[in-house]
């Protein structure tokens, strides 16, 4: 099995991996546990534009509810759709 060299640049590393198979270096890899800040269950994300005054109002309401503004807006949308 080979030994992964030290690279001088990202370009040099990219060129190396373009011409080598990771199977040649399996003894050099270690399994890692990955934890995400939140579950990756969202299928769609939406960006909305708000003027500063509106955003500040939403932010204040969210703080009062102990939520982030995006969570509060999502809650409003879901509640509205249930009606």
The answer to whether 62 and 72 are in contact (CB under 8 A) is yes
**Mean pLDDT per segment of 10 residues, for the chain of length 83 residues?**
86 94 89 81 84 97 95 95 92
* Distance, CA of 75 to CA of 47 (rounded, Å): 15
Same domain, 12 and 42: no
The answer to whether 24 and 1 are in contact (CB under 8 A) is yes
Residue range of the domain that includes 20? 1-32
The pLDDT of residue 81: 95
Same domain, 28 and 5: yes
Same domain, 3 and 25: yes
The pLDDT of residue 32: 92
Same domain, 27 and 51: no
Same domain, 17 and 41: no
The pLDDT of residue 34: 86
Residues belonging to the chain? 83
- Total structural domains in the chain? 2
Distances (CA, A) of 15 to 12, 27, 29: 5, 21, 19
The answer to whether 61 and 72 are in contact (CB under 8 A) is yes
């Amino acid at each position: 099995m080979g030994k992964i060299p030290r690279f001088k640049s990202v370009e040099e590393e990219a060129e190396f991996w373009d011409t080598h198979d990771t199977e040649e270096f399996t003894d050099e890899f270690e399994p890692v546990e990955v934890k995400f800040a939140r579950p990756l269950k969202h299928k769609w994300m939406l960006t909305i534009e708000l003027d500063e005054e509106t955003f500040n109002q939403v932010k204040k309401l969210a703080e009062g509810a102990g939520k982030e503004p995006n969570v509060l807006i999502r809650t409003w949308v879901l509640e509205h759709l249930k009606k």
